């Protein structure tokens, strides 16, 4: 199965440390050899890098670790193909425009009966269940909210997003990272964990690579940086595991809202 990595921060932050450990799972310490990608929201813009080859041997992946792109939101994915060929068109993350924003999406899991999800405004370029579900999901959001939600309507949007994710979870395994440039959405079907780093910062040691960093040397007392991953990336920190059916809404490194499978809203 694929693996996910996401970041939300209150200041422009590079994800080089986490990504270094993550890319080793793409054909090194993990079996995810079928492509990888990473997307950044920075300075009001968006850019991504995708490669259908294993990340552990990818020159493009090495470029990302050596070139610290600073962003408020980042999403990354390493693929173990289940549905669809190994090719660039099937490599996450996928993107579409809605309400004048670039929406970025990555999925971990496998769905059954996904072909029956009706498509309207958005159409897949590749042939994966993941991209088909993304096109359906975004169209359902657009149908309910033809224009960007007005002030005070964000909670309604998040609630609807949670209901859509629950519908997709009923088709199989659906772990999600989704972003629109302001918010990062993380939905857990089976497996996602997160950690928030803030002052006082300390040292972190990667589980998949021999690398340790002292965040106190690279941060200020006001920085808040949260990282979400399929499995914890460090071996000396306490990660929080999300609950199945839980949707978290992140902004500037903090959780803005939480929706549970029992309908609870926090």
**Could you give the C-alpha distances from 53 to 60, 112, 131, 195, in angstroms and in order?**
10, 26, 19, 29
By C-alpha distance, which of 2, 13, 3, 5 is closest to 198? 13
Q: What tokens were used for 96? A: 């579409």
Three-class SS state of 265: strand
Q: What tokens were used for 69? A: 């792109």
By C-alpha distance, which of 3, 8, 71 is closest to 225? 8
d(CA 228, CA 240): 9
Contact 246, 146 (CB under 8 A): no
Contact 199, 265 (CB under 8 A): no
**Could you give the C-alpha distances from 127 to 33, 35, 79, 88, 120, in angstroms and in order?**
18, 15, 14, 11, 16
Residues with a known catalytic role: 2
d(CA 216, CA 186): 27
Give the torsion through C-alpha atoms of 149, 154, 157, 158, to 10 deg.
Answer: 160
Using a 10 angstrom Cβ sphere, with 0-12 exposed, 13-18 middle and 19 or more buried, the burial of residue 103 is buried
């Amino acid at each position: 199965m694929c693996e996910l990595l996401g970041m939300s921060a209150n200041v422009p932050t590079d994800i080089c440390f986490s990504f270094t450990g993550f890319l080793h799972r793409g054909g090194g310490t993990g079996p995810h050899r079928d492509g990888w990608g990473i997307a950044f929201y920075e300075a009001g813009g968006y850019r991504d890098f995708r490669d259908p080859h294993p990340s552990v041997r990818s020159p493009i992946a090495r470029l990302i670790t050596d070139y610290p792109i600073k962003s408020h939101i980042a999403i990354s994915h390493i693929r173990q193909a289940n549905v669809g060929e190994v090719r660039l068109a099937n490599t996450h993350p996928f993107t579409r425009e809605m309400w004048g924003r670039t929406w970025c999406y990555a999925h971990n899991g496998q769905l059954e009966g996904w072909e029956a999800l009706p498509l309207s405004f958005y159409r897949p370029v590749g042939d994966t269940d993941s991209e088909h579900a993304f096109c359906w999901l975004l169209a359902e959001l657009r149908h309910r909210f033809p224009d960007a939600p007005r002030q005070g309507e964000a909670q309604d949007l998040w609630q609807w997003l949670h209901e859509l994710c629950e519908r997709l979870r009923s088709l199989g395994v659906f772990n999600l990272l989704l972003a629109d440039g302001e918010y990062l959405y993380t939905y857990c079907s089976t497996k996602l964990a997160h950690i928030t780093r803030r002052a006082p910062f300390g040292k972190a040691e990667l589980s998949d690579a021999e690398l340790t960093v002292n965040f106190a040397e690279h941060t200020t007392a006001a920085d808040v940086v949260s990282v979400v991953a399929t499995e914890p990336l460090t071996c000396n920190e306490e990660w929080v595991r999300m609950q199945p059916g839980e949707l978290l809404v992140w902004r500037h490194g903090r959780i803005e809202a939480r929706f549970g499978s029992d309908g609870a809203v926090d």
